[in-house]
Amino acid sequence: MVKQESEAYFAYLGHCNHYSRLQQPHTLYYQNGQRVKLFYNKVEEGKRAGYQLPNVWEGKNVLRYELRYVRNLTKQFNRSEVTLETLTDEAFYMGLIDRWAGGYANIKKQQSYNLDLSIMKSTKDFDKQIYLRGLLSVGNEQQILDMIEQAKREGVFENKMQVKRLKDKVREVFNCPADCNGNAELVAELDQKVKQVQRFYR
């Protein structure tokens, strides 16, 4: 259960290496050929499917995060076989929880930034932070990357290299030193929820 509507958290979950990111109205997907990371509004999903929702969910915001292994299980888990019985093995189950948490941790979180003169060592550092402030007036990192993708689809750029350079520049600018930014409140909440699951895996 989370403080705000599930969909409010999606914008703070950005790029993840080796995964394609796809956002829909009530669902956020990260997928590659082996796995899918999925964030969605569990109440909305339950209503669409016609489930009888638990009373404890009444008037609550419920965000579900799943890590799905879709193929090549034996290779991904380095085992000769993965069966239903395997899931009853405590060590294997704990390992799944750790993988689940690691899957979340590997997603780059969108952050809030403040201009910090104390960390600037050159005009390049100043320029980078000013550029960052300009980008933030339009949106966060993922939103800017989505705008670039939209412009690419509409034929704004001459070639793929222009798109790549522009995206690399945006990511470089948003990759500010840790002491000049702070995680958004919603990200901090998600971080705490994931750590709690790891702590009380039983």
Mean pLDDT of 108-122: 69
Give the model's pLDDT for residue 29: 97
Task: List the one residue out of 72, 63, 69, 74 whose CA is nearest residue 4.
Answer: 63
Point out the least confidently predicted range of 25-29, 69-73, 169-173. 169-173
62 pLDDT tier (thresholds 50, 70, 90)? very high
Instruction: Indicate the residue type of 159.
Output: N
pTM of the model: 0.68
Residue 50's alpha-carbon distances to 6, 53, 61, 87, 182, in angstroms, are: 19, 9, 18, 29, 40
- For residue 126, how many C-alpha atoms fall within 13 Å in the half-sphere facing its CB? 4
- Indicate the SS3 state at residue 184: coil
Inform me whether the pLDDT recorded for 180 exceeds 60.
no
Give the model's pLDDT for residue 178: 42
Residue scoring higher pLDDT (127 or 192):
192
Instruction: State what percent of residues in the chain have pLDDT above 70.
Output: 91
90 pLDDT tier (thresholds 50, 70, 90)? very high
Give the model's pLDDT for residue 181: 45
